[in-house]
Amino acid sequence: MTQVLNNEVLYKSEDGKTIIYKTYSQEMRRYGMLKDGKKGSRFADTTYRHIFPFQDDRAAAITSDNQYVWVDTDLQESEMDELDVILVEVTQIEGSRCNCQDKVEELGCDLCEGGVIFNELNWRQVESKGQRLLFEYDSDYSTFNIVLTASATFANLMVDEVWEEVELYRNIRLYINNHKEELLQSPKFLHVCVLSRSIQFSGVKLTPCSLSVELISVPAINNQAQNSYFFNYTTFINNSK
């Protein structure tokens, strides 16, 4: 089911009579748009991996097949030239604000993580070697390096966290989001027990893992757009005119 994200207004006309909202399908993990105007409402296909806010009647968007396009206020696509593609590729992709944000419902919402809908483009598996997995996670203009290593036995009886396998990556992201201030100072190391459930054998399996998280990229204070790996979107759109 596609949901209209009321907190994500991508465009609003000067007279306030035309508004374009971002929409989201949890099943497809894709974004779309709803245009609400004088001539009624109209949906754009929910086929985008990300949609940036409109600036001067156009928005940059990333399609399902990773093509970079412009979308106008009539929800029509047009090609993006090579220079603009290069700029948008290094533009920070932010999560989307869920309808439950800052409400009581946020605590039990299965659509978001702390009021923000996670965008899969911000999570990348960089390496897989034996029992060792390496990921990168972008959050608030910072990039974190994550190393997860499974072990055959428990090295000790100390376990910092017990996480369900199906929620493992989500819990890693939540842990990072809740410990950003500490990660600015030094890396974090955890002993994690991953719990896997088997319907076939009606049992559970516990896998001990070591987890390390390190901040590898952070923007300079008060000089973010110029010195960060990521461009600020407003800077990008203005430079591309």
Type of residue numbered 156: N
| Average of per-residue pLDDT across 72-96 | 92
Q: Is 112 helix (H, G, I), strand (E, B) or coil?
A: coil
| Average pLDDT value for the chain | 86
Contacts of 153 (CB under 8 A, 6+ apart): 208
Q: Is 180 helix (H, G, I), strand (E, B) or coil?
A: helix
pLDDT for 81 beyond 80: yes
pLDDT for 111 beyond 80: yes
Residue 119 DSSP one-character state: P
Residues facing residue 24 across a β-bridge: 3, 31
Q: Count CA atoms closer than 13 A to 177's CA, side-chain side.
A: 15
pLDDT for 208 beyond 80: yes
Please report, rounded to a whole number, the percentage of residues in the chain having pLDDT higher than 90.
Answer: 62
| Tens-digit pLDDT profile for residues 158-168 | 889 999 999 99
pLDDT for 218 beyond 90: no
Q: Is 63 helix (H, G, I), strand (E, B) or coil?
A: strand
E-assigned strands of 99-232?
116-117, 123-129, 132-139, 142-150, 161-164, 188-198, 203-217
pLDDT for 29 beyond 90: yes
Q: Which tokens go with 206?
A: 């516990």
> At 205, is the pLDDT very low, low, confident or very high (cuts 50, 70, 90)?
confident
| Tens-digit pLDDT profile for residues 220-238 | 544 433 333 345 555 555 5
Is residue 37 within 8 A of residue 20, CB to CB? The reply is no
Q: Which tokens go with 198?
A: 């088997």
> At 115, is the pLDDT very low, low, confident or very high (cuts 50, 70, 90)?
confident
| Tens-digit pLDDT profile for residues 170-197 | 999 999 999 999 998 999 999 999 999 8
The pLDDT of residue 54 is 94
| Average of per-residue pLDDT across 67-86 | 95
Look at residues 42, 49, 58, 41 and name the one whose alpha carbon lies nearest to residue 25.
49
- Buried b vs exposed e over 4-41: b needs ≥16 C-beta within 10 Å? bbebbebbeeeeeeeebbbbbeeeeebbbbbbeeeeee
